[in-house]
Amino acid sequence: MRRTRSTRRAVLAAGTAALGAMAGCVSGTEREANGDGSDGGSGDGAEEDGADGDGTGASEPYDVSMVPVGEVTFESPPERWLAYESDYADMGVALGVGDGLAAVGEPHRYHPEYYAELGIPHVEEPTPLWNDGVDKELFYELDVDVHLVDPNWLEHNGAFGLERADVDEIGENVAPFVGNTIFRRTDEWHDYEYYTLYEAFEKVAEVFDRVDRYEAFAALHEEFLAEIEASLPPADERPDGLLAWVGSDEPEEFYPALIGDEGASTKHFRDLGVGDALADTGVEGLSTDDRGTIDYEAILDVDPDALFLRGHEGKSRAEFEETVLAHMRDHEVASDLAAVREGRVFRGGPIYQGPIYNLFVAERTARECYPQRFDRELFDRERVAEIVAGGA
C-alpha cells in the first residue's frame, strides 16, 4: 500500500524553502552532522539540493517502506514525533533526535536513566499516551510529524479503546504511522512480517534520514556480540531461565513470557545463550489475548536454573534483592526453587528494548548470569554518545 501523505510541518518547511528562508527546516539531519552537504540518508532519494556549505538546504522527498503500513513519503525529516512502545522511542534517541520526542505510551517503560548515564539529549518526561485508554484527541493535541507506532497494535489492543476508523483518521489528519510491533511474537493478530530489533532500527533511521548513525550502531553492536561470544561458557553450562512479568514486591502470580520467542524484548537472552525453561511445557507466552498466569507450584514443576522477572526496572540489584528475592526466600513454596536458593532471581529487562536499552540490559544480564566470565563493561559509553551526536 502506498502512502504519500506528507506531514504538515514538512509541507510548511518545503514552502518556506521555496521562499528562500530555509533556517531550521532540516536542522539536526545527518547532512548537518556531516557539515559538508553529503547525503547521510536512506538512499531513497533524500539528497541535498542547493547546500550552502553549512549543511542546510532544501531536501528532496524520500520514501520509507515498512510493513504493515507500506510506503510513506516524507518531504523532510520529521522534527516532532512519538512512539507508543519505548523500543521505538529508544531508536529515535539513539539517532540523535531525542529532543523531538513528544510522547510515549507508558512513561514507566521509558528509561531516561540510561540516557543520563551516557550524557545524550533526551526528553525526561514525555507525555503519556495511556491514561485508562488512549484518547484519539490527544494525537491531535500533540500534532507530531510521524507516529512511530504499528497502527494494528492500536487497533487490536482492546484496552486502548480505539477502532480502525480512529487509527485511520489519525494517520490521515495528523501524521503517518511507521512501525511494526516487534517486542514479542505471540499475538495472533500479528500475521504479517516481523522485524528484528536492528531491522526496525534501520527503518527508523530511514525515517529520520540518519542511516549513517544506524550503521555506526550496527557496527558497535556486532563488536558487542563478538565480545560476549568470546567469553560465554560452553552451552551445557548456560542456564535455562523462566521469564515472567510481575509488578509486586511480594509476588504470588506471574504472567509468563517465552525466552524462546524471537521478539526484540528477549534478544539479550538469545545473545547470552540462555535457554527457555518453558519450552515444550505447553505454557503459552503473554499476548494481547492470553493474560493467563502461573503460580509458584507451576514454576516449581519446571524448577528453572534462573528466574527473570520483569516489572522492576526502576530498582537496583540491591533493592530487588531486598524486596522481591527476600519475599521469595521467606515463601513456603518459592523457597524450594533452586533459583531462589542460589540467588539466581534477576530483573528480566524492559518489555520494550531499543538499541541503547539492549546494550545496557545485555551487559547487566551477562554479569549476573556469568559473574566469573563478565566482570567488566562490555561496550564503550563514550563511543555510543559520539554516535548519537553524529561524530562516529
Q: Strand, coil or helix: what is 99?
A: helix
Per the DSSP assignment, residues forming a β-bridge with 347 are 309
Say whether pLDDT at 365 is over 60: yes
Q: Which H or E run contains 327? A: helix 326-330
Pairing of β 62-66 and β 70-74: antiparallel
Domains of the chain: residue spans and CATH: 1-72 (no CATH), 234-367 (3.40.50.1980)
**Mean pLDDT taken over the chain:** 86
Q: What is the pTM of this model?
A: 0.85
User: pLDDT tens, 254-265?
Assistant: 999 999 999 999
Largest CA distance in the chain: 75
* Cβ(79)–Cβ(28) below 8 Å: yes
DSSP letter string over 3-14? E-PPPHHHHHHH
Alpha-carbon span 23 to 275, nearest angstrom: 53
> Can you tell me the distance from the alpha carbon of 285 to that of 311, in angstroms, rounded to the nearest whole number?
16
If pLDDT is split at 50, 70 and 90, which confidence band does 289 have?
low
pLDDT digits (tens, 9 = 90+) for 187-199: 999 999 999 999 9
Instruction: Specify the amino acid at residue 105.
Output: G
pLDDT-based confidence at residue 392 (cuts at 50, 70, 90): low
Top-confidence residue, 16 or 205:
205
Nearest to 148 by CA among 136, 139, 161: 139
Mean pLDDT (whole number) for 94-109? 97
Q: Give the whole-angstrom CA distance, residue 5 versus residue 319.
A: 49
159, three cell numbers: 484496552
Is pLDDT above 80 for 361? yes
Three-class DSSP category at 142 = helix
Closest CA to 14 of 72, 54, 79, 61: 61
